[in-house]
Amino acid sequence: MRSRFTAYATGAVQHIIATTHPTSPHQMTDLVRWRIDIHAFSHRTEFVSLTIHDTGIDGMQGWVRFTAELAVGDMVQPMHEHSIFYKVGQRWLYHSAVNP
């Protein structure tokens, strides 16, 4: 989760794509469009802070419950999420979120 937050904050588009699970609803077949969308989001948003509240693993599935503070212009807004990850090989890949 921390690496994805940092990737969004620094515009590391390829890291976001590489750490997204192939069956994620966020997966896009049009890689050009996906890169443009991630780049645009990363550059219009300031990633202020990340607080990890809880994590867990159950076999090949893991989860992270966190709050990220994001700013667009002068408006800072918290984003609460319960993210689901799946282990593929030696890597944990983001799948989806269940908002608290």
- Dump pLDDT digits (tens) for 56-96: 999 999 999 999 999 999 999 999 999 999 999 999 999 99
With a cut of 90, say whether residue 99 has pLDDT above it.
Answer: no
Q: Residue 1 — very low, low, confident or very high, per pLDDT cuts 50/70/90?
A: confident
Q: Quote the pLDDT of residue 98.
A: 87
Distances (CA, A) of 15 to 6, 28, 65, 72: 10, 14, 21, 22
Q: Residue 100 — very low, low, confident or very high, per pLDDT cuts 50/70/90?
A: low
Q: Quote the pLDDT of residue 62.
A: 97
Q: Look at the alpha carbons of 34, 36, 41, 47 in this order and tell me if their dihedral is positive or negative.
A: positive
Q: Are 51 and 67 in contact (CB under 8 A)?
A: yes
- 76 three-class SS: strand
- Dump pLDDT digits (tens) for 2-50: 999 999 999 999 999 999 999 999 999 999 999 999 999 999 999 999 9
Q: Quote the pLDDT of residue 65.
A: 97
